[in-house]
Structure 1
Amino acid sequence: MTTTSRFRLVPMRPRDPDEAGRTASTLELFFDLVFVVAVSIAAVQLHHALTEGHALDGIANYAIVFFGIWWAWMNFTWFATSFDTDDWLYRVLTIVQMGGVLVLASGIQPVFEDHDFSVLIIAYVVMRLALVAQWFRASRSAGSSHRATLIYAGGISLVQALWLASLLLSGSMFLAALVALVAAELAVPIVAERTGTTPSHPHHITERYGLFTLIVLGESLLSSANAIIRALHDREDLSSLIGVASLALIATAALWWIYFWPPHHHAISSFGRSLAYGYGHYFVFAAAGAFSVGIEVEIDVLTGHSELHQPWASFAYTIPLAVFVLGIWALAIRPQADRIVNVALPLSGVLVLIDSLTSVPFALTALILAAAVAVLVWRRPVDRAGLTDGIRPSDD
């Protein structure tokens, strides 16, 4: 039985990392909804930048904005796996973070259009300080994790003060501060976990990452639907747009299949692997979000509404696809795959990248990804004892 205080608060003790049946809560799913808004706006702004021919500037802004989105999501996710009490104060502080995400989303457009980071940074700080309150609360009942919770709270607070101070800078000084503060944000968990660990539930964590992957892949399905809508209003490019919509669906389904092929909880069996898995997903998530942009760019090229031309327009979706495939292969598939899969997956990532130079890049991309999925259907992940469990036609 869980004890509560006279304020109806549950002591924020560390959760059992071996808790049976641990799954994502409805609050966590609700929390993810606001990130749909932020990811969608970031994708729209990147789309505008690429279509207008400002590729390098757009990609740089997208990388910065997506870091803020991803880092806020990831920090809440790892905190929740350790200290989720689901009482009223925990819920209120989580909803405050959700409000910060919505304000952050409203600050994305000024970043792309005017390089104005004011709203973005202020909203980001609000989110982070709400999490600081959670860390301080957790420190009261954290037991062996007490020191780690205080380092998290103190480290995050210090970095947020520096973020606010960075608003006083301009030009190259601000850019240098931006890079330094991103590095500082990434360093806080490393320092905290090396001085006093917090528990994490492997199945719960990897389920949360899988759910966020579905969110960003959903943007690609929306782009596929947009292609069909455009086709209904543009009879001249009807077949091409329907083709893009169909192939976008095939590619998105292939990314889903590849991502969920291995059991991800084996990928976070140690602190070092958990760090690589958690931080490496920045590239996986960002690539999934950017893939939807690439589809939209291809639609604009077909309808004559883009400054980009081939093969550069094709790179707008082949680069994200390659990053996604190679990233998830390195983070979760490689240690659990046999030699055949460990050749086929990275090869497919490289082939997707270079097929932009062909005359039918999207069709070839879909075929390559379909072939990669066929290999995964044929093979199975290596079990924990290191013995292959690959399926061959004669096994069934």
Structure 2
Amino acid sequence: MSRVSAETHEAPEAPEGTEYRVSTLELFFDLVFVFTITQLTSKLADDTSPLGFAQVVIMLFVILWMYFGYVWLTNAVPPTTTMRRLLLMAGMGGFLVIALAIPNAFGAAGVAFGIGYLIVNLVHSGLFIASGGPGSAAAMARLAPFNLGSAGLVFVGGFLPSTWRAAAWTAAVVVMIVSPYVNRRHGEFRIRSAHFVERHGLVVIVALGESIIAIGIGATGLPLNLQLVVAALLGLALVYQLWWCYFGREQDLRAEHNLAAMTPSDRASAALSAFGWAHAPILLGIVVVAVGVKKTIGHATEHLHLSGALALGGGAAIFLVGEIYFRYRLRIGSNKWRIIAAVAALVTVPVGLWLAIAQVAALVAVFGALLAVEAKRQA
């Protein structure tokens, strides 16, 4: 039998304890997610009002729920056959439609957002149940009605007026949040720790990359002078510090080790909380900081409006809140100084109301002090 024809048949499942690394197809899948992050950042940058922020939070949570669902899927079902790869491509297509709809999702593009989301959900549930192995497939079969119910709310909401659409999509988020606790069988999912931690680390890298893009977009069309260079370098330093908070001192390796040391049931529970509930504010914080950096680059020596200053200080604080819970859930060191840093990040907001570049510098100082104190205490 030829190699191509053989790949169309189901490959035997790897033994439960087998670890493997993230595949290039999964990295290719994440390229579409890059676009969703870019679209959400642009959407928030265009409308930093409380309503605009709320809409971005709703869309981000809805999107992350299924993106993380695909991480759980490929953790249990590696894309080793042609059929699995084709179905993942179908899921990518659904995510692309969602991303294209984001700028006007609460307007004329709501139907497209709902259709794309339904496609993503159907592919995920079908592939998981068909190929996830006895334990994971059974657990997914119990979770699928909740996922499909929330997808139905997103789909129907796309046809409703904007106010009712927001209500339907918020209800979908509520269903997502309560579903693991109503259906208490997520412990049956088998988590391969190395792959799971690596995949979530890569999505954080993707989001941080959007912050770098925000610097470039903010600088587009501006004269390359000292002011712009300093503002851009300070923005880069802040993004680097966010990276260091997440990856520094081998935090990802410690997370992998601690996750692997748990019992299978505890590991699944920790995976849900540390890589689901904790990573939602981590990624939201990165998106919001990117908006603040984008607004700062072109107005470095001016004052920020309250929305821009809150994007910088509040985004950094949201990121740290997610980090604190992530570290707490996986028992990775003390969080005392990160709690202090989250409060200090919010304190920088008045600085931005005075001078934009000064707030970025203040945040760099806050994160620099945090990382220095943590390094000294761990030395």
TM-score (norm 1): 0.82
1:182 aligns with 2:185: no
1:315 aligns with 2:302: no
Shift in CA distance, 318/100, structure 1 to aligned 2, threshold 3 Å: same
SS at match of 2:223: helix
> Aligned runs of 1:99-118 on 2, under 5 Å?
99-111=93-105, 114=107, 116-118=109-111
- Which residue of 2 is the match for residue 250 of structure 1? 237
For residue 342 of structure 2, what is the amino acid of its counterpart? G
| Aligned equivalents of 1:168, 1:311: Cα separation in 2 | 34
- Which residue of 2 is the match for residue 276 of structure 1? 273
| Aligned equivalents of 1:292, 1:136: Cα separation in 2 | 37
Match of 1:87 among 81, 85, 91: 81
Say if 1:224 and 1:246, in contact at 8 Å, map to a contact too. no
Larger radius of gyration: 1
- Which residue of 1 is the match for residue 121 of structure 2? 128
- 1:302: Cα distance to partner? 4.2
Once the two structures are superposed, residues 120-174 of structure 1 have per-residue CA deviations (whole angstroms, 9 ceiling, x without a partner) of 11111111111122023126xx234442132233443344334333345435443
- Which residue of 1 is the match for residue 344 of structure 2? 351
- Which residue of 2 is the match for residue 378 of structure 1? 376
Match of 1:293 among 287, 291, 294: 291
1:194 aligns with 2:185: yes
> Aligned runs of 1:1-396 on 2, under 5 Å?
8-11=8-11, 13=13, 15-20=14-19, 22-50=20-48, 55-111=49-105, 114=107, 116-138=109-131, 142-170=133-161, 172-191=163-182, 194=185, 197-232=188-223, 238-261=225-248, 262=251, 263-265=254-256, 268=259, 269=262, 270=266, 271-277=268-274, 278-302=276-300, 309-332=304-327, 335-338=331-334, 342-358=335-351, 359=354, 360-379=358-377, 390-391=378-379
What are the ranges of 5 or more consecutive residues in structure 1 without an aligned counterpart? 380-389, 392-396
Say if 1:39 and 1:69, in contact at 8 Å, map to a contact too. no
| Aligned equivalents of 1:82, 1:101: Cα separation in 2 | 20
SS at match of 2:190: coil
Bigger shift: residues 76-85 or 268-277: 268-277
| Aligned equivalents of 1:163, 1:135: Cα separation in 2 | 21
Once the two structures are superposed, residues 98-133 of structure 1 have per-residue CA deviations (whole angstroms, 9 ceiling, x without a partner) of 111111111111126x37521111111111111122
State, as a whole percentage, how many aligned pairs show the same letter: 24
| Aligned equivalents of 1:35, 1:168: Cα separation in 2 | 24
- Which residue of 2 is the match for residue 384 of structure 1? none
- Which residue of 2 is the match for residue 387 of structure 1? none
- Which residue of 2 is the match for residue 386 of structure 1? none
- 1:376: Cα distance to partner? 3.2
Say if 1:227 and 1:245, in contact at 8 Å, map to a contact too. no
For residue 271 of structure 2, what is the amino acid of its counterpart? S
Paired residues, what number?
A: 360
For residue 17 of structure 2, what is the amino acid of its counterpart? D
SS at match of 2:9: coil
Say if 1:228 and 1:241, in contact at 8 Å, map to a contact too. yes
Say if 2:7 and 2:82, in contact at 8 Å, map to a contact too. no
Say if 1:135 and 1:153, in contact at 8 Å, map to a contact too. no
| Aligned equivalents of 2:242, 2:29: Cα separation in 1 | 24
Once the two structures are superposed, residues 188-243 of structure 1 have per-residue CA deviations (whole angstroms, 9 ceiling, x without a partner) of 4445552761201122111111100000101111223345555436xxxx333222
For residue 84 of structure 1, what is the amino acid of its counterpart? P
| Aligned equivalents of 2:117, 2:163: Cα separation in 1 | 21
Say if 2:218 and 2:298, in contact at 8 Å, map to a contact too. no
- 1:11: Cα distance to partner? 4.7
Bigger shift: residues 292-301 or 151-160: 151-160
Shift in CA distance, 12/282, structure 1 to aligned 2, threshold 3 Å: farther
Once the two structures are superposed, residues 243-270 of structure 1 have per-residue CA deviations (whole angstroms, 9 ceiling, x without a partner) of 2211111111101011013222256442
SS at match of 1:38: helix
Say if 1:36 and 1:216, in contact at 8 Å, map to a contact too. yes
SS at match of 1:260: helix
SS at match of 1:18: coil
TM-score (norm 2): 0.85
| Aligned equivalents of 2:147, 2:59: Cα separation in 1 | 19
| Aligned equivalents of 2:7, 2:360: Cα separation in 1 | 58
For residue 219 of structure 1, what is the amino acid of its counterpart? E
Say if 1:294 and 1:316, in contact at 8 Å, map to a contact too. yes
